Amino acid sequence: MNDLFCLRLGVTNCYLIKGSRGYIMIDAGSLRKEKLFQSLLMQRGLYPQDIKLIIITHAHYDHIGSLAGIKRACGCPVLAHPLEAAIIREGEVVIPPGTNILGTAVSSIGQRAKSMLAFEPVDCEILCDKEYHLDEFAVKGRILSTPGHTSGSLSLLMDNGNAYVGDLAFNWNGLSIYPTFAEMPAEIYSSWGLILKEGAENIFPAHGRPFSINRIKQNLEKLNRLAYGMA
Ligand SMILES: [Zn+2]
Ligand SMILES: [Zn+2]
């Protein structure tokens, strides 16, 4: 059995990480991806019951669209930040502001299409707003609070240096890794600084391919140079 799978559910990479007592899943994809989820699992010789925990990095519709159905199939608890859990419980569709021209355009289209993005509300059993170790799920990793894309964004940092960061960084096109959307743009840099300090080596974003922490390091160094240059 492999230790790591990426399930592409709509536009979102959902990751399955193996612990010694089963898998944990990061995020639950776009709307109406429950059947795709089941067939991707089957292709890998897995069953929904093999998943022991679903971690939601944040409450945007492309990460929780199929959460209700996937949770029912897995019969496992869901972990989220309390701020995001409230949104998931209410079934509130949140469209974040863009951080560039493209993001702003997509965000305004999203605002008009909100009713089409409605998802089934879900109760999250495990609420986490600070560092949280996953020992009880036999997984060598911890949850970190990494606000910026949303106020309640979480990341999973594994002891092996793999970091599953949701939308804290994008890798759409191999160019900028700065998120196309963010509620708290300035916080992105401090959360990048945190995962760097805590030992992240490989970044697994929800959108785009994995990349090295060096790209985050270079961005932070550039920011520092600009800050000193302006002083
Ligand atoms: Zn998002
Ligand atoms: Zn997303």
- Domain of 173, CATH number, reads 3.60.15.10
Nearby residues for ligand 2 (ion, Cβ within 5 Å): 62, 167, 206
> What order do you get walking across the sheet with 211-212 strand by strand?
132-133, 141-145, 154-158, 162-166, 202-205, 211-212
CA of 212 to the centre of ligand 1 (A): 21
CA of 1 to the centre of ligand 1 (A): 30
For residue 70, the one-letter residue type is: I
Burial of 208 (0-12, 13-18, 19+ CB in 10 A): middle
Query: What is residue 1's predicted lDDT score, i.e. its pLDDT?
Result: 44
In angstroms, the CA 34 to CA 53 distance is: 16
Using DSSP, state whether 40 is helix, strand or coil. Answer: helix
Burial 1-20 (b: 16+ CB within 10 A, else e): eeeebebebbebbbbbbbbe
Query: What is residue 120's predicted lDDT score, i.e. its pLDDT?
Result: 97
Nearest ligand (C-alpha, residue 58): 1
CA of 151 to the centre of ligand 2 (A): 14
Query: What is residue 2's predicted lDDT score, i.e. its pLDDT?
Result: 66
Q: What is the mean pLDDT of the chain?
A: 95
* Count of the separate structural domains present in the chain: 1
CA of 60 to the centre of ligand 2 (A): 6
Q: Give the pLDDT band of residue 224 (cuts 50, 70, 90).
A: confident
CA of 167 to the centre of ligand 1 (A): 5
Tokens 């990793």 belong to 141
Range of the domain at 72: 4-230
Q: Is the whole-model pTM more than 0.85?
A: yes
176 or 230, which is more confident? Answer: 176
